[in-house]
Amino acid sequence: MSDRYCVFGHPIGHSKSPRIHAAFAEQTGEAMTYEAIEAPRDDFAGAWRAFAAAGGRGANVTVPFKEDAFRMAEDLSPRAQRAGAVNTLWLDDGGRLHGDTTDGVGLARDLEMHAAPLAGARILVLGAGGAVRGVLEPLLATRPASLTIANRTAARAEALAADFADLGDVRGGGFADVAGPFDLVINGTSASLAGDLPPLPEALFADGALAYDMMYGAEPTVFLVWAAERGARTVDGLGMLVEQAAESFFLWRHTRPDTAPVREMLRQAL
């Protein structure tokens, strides 16, 4: 009998998670199914309860429900507590609901695969929303020389930096306050979805720097095009998507899938 898993979102039709986890299950021989469920915006808890009552064992959670999942989980991992959000839920054998966030781990693993400078690096993160909050702890765990958060509203970046100041040299401010060069620049804003670019200085990248966009698509984002024109290496967020999924799969099934063929499958399908 197969165990049931799903991803909750609103909307959710675009999600690649069912394809990713089907590939992981086939590769590892795990007996499980995985589906996409569009939960009502005002009743995520009800959607989860219905799924669990029908035999569901765990779920991924995407926008706009990550904070709902955080509030609902009975046991939170330390990284979920830091992020204030949950993207992975699962029931233990006693029926207790656990919550974790795998986004930051997914980003860190993808950066490592691309030989990105992390330890001792000067890192700039653009944006101060939930996507950025979820990745700060794993980035700071690599012990960069400094981590700067820049956001259109400087106060949000400053507040976020203060929340993580005990983990390293973290500072926050507005885009106008950014002064390079940086070894790694991560775009965590949603600007790429609209084809926009945050206002950034020309002298942003150090020699050999990497520009990383959490968004991805068949073509490079506006941010990555801009960065490449200024000499940076560029990587989009497709690998992060696969790596965070692999971490969720490991939490559920206690086996770690090979992400390389799944990355390639998704890239070819873009």
Evaluate whether 47 touches 37 at the Cβ level (below 8 Å): yes
Q: Are 209 and 184 in contact (CB under 8 A)?
A: yes
Active site residue 66: yes
Nearest to 172 by CA among 158, 182, 159, 155: 158
Q: Tell whether residue 268 is among the known ligand binding residues.
A: no
What 3-state class would DSSP assign to 135? helix
152 annotated to a ligand binding site: yes
Would you say 128 is a known binding-site residue? yes
Do the annotations mark residue 216 as ligand-binding? yes
Is 62 labelled as part of a ligand binding site?
Answer: yes
E strand map for 204-247: 205-213, 233-235
Q: Binding residue per annotation — 188?
A: no
Classify strands 182-187 and 122-126 as parallel, antiparallel or unpaired. Answer: parallel
* Beta carbons within 10 angstroms of residue 114's beta carbon: 12
**2 annotated to bind ligand:** no
Q: Is 187 annotated as a binding residue?
A: no
Angular region, 75: left φ>0, alpha ψ -120 to 50, beta rest: beta
Q: 139 vs 82, 116, 136, 149, CA distance in Å?
A: 13, 12, 5, 12
Residue 155 known to bind ligand: yes
CA end-to-end span of the chain = 33
49 is in an annotated binding site: no
- 83 is an annotated ligand-binding site residue: no
Q: Is 129 annotated as a binding residue?
A: yes
Q: Tokens at residue 103, please? A: 């986004």
Q: Please tell me whether 94 is known to bind a ligand.
A: no
CA angle 18-98-140, nearest 5°? 85
Closest CA to 235 of 162, 172, 186: 186
Q: Which of 7, 34, 56, 66 is the catalytic position?
A: 66
- Answer yes or no: is 103 a known binding residue: yes
Q: Which of the 8 DSSP states describes residue 153?
A: S
Residue ranges of the binding site for NADP(+): 127-131, 151-156, 214, 237
Annotated active-site positions, please? 66
Residue ranges of the binding site for shikimate: 15-17, 62, 87, 103, 216, 244
Residue ranges of the binding site: 15-17, 62, 87, 103, 127-131, 151-156, 214, 216, 237, 244
